[in-house]
Structure 1
């Protein structure tokens, strides 16, 4: 019986070594491929472009224009999802926070986000929400869109 355990151990060691060699070989092939480097650069450039365009410096909608607010809300949700998918969590959470801030049904939106987002990212959103809300309100006041207390639900 001892011989079979030893043989099994050796076989497992050889199998592990072969698997590791397989992984290293194909990783090297992947890295040598000129298309891989090109695609990697394109992905990084796209992520940079998204994060550059993701600042709050863009035009803010008029709080009295329902259609403009809805468009802004949808843009912020879409941009937040794209940034999260690209791995830029901070900027993605920032945009989702802006969407939550301008949303008329905040509790329902937070409930949906809690169900669809991973818990750590949702908690990051909750922590960032007061900061984003205050920054958005300050930007609206500076832009002439003064947010009144009765406007906030």
Structure 2
């Protein structure tokens, strides 16, 4: 019996010693991680190298949240355009109306509505402004695509 107790005691002592060593090592690594920026950088590099490349999430063709946000944006732009035109701020009014036209799901119907509700000279100025806004939008899209391609 004494040999069994001795074996159990020895085993318990080894387990306690191992736990102390493990805890000490964890404390040391934590201390080193907080103190050494190069160690943190190397650790991050190891983690990045070990992770598999994240696959691009599947694109959803219809996202109800985005659709609601676009509708809210559309209505807000139409309202702002009307207010600006009423105040006599034609430049801002045209910009808001063309923004609404760009996000509209049915731009032809919106143009027909504008043709019926806006004075002819204002509608013609709106039509003249559309290509400029589209060009600005294309330039913005190109610049954001360029930024997405840049890894830094």
Report the TM-score when normalising by structure 2.
Answer: 0.49
Larger radius of gyration: 2
If the length of structure 1 is used for normalisation, what is the TM-score?
Answer: 0.49
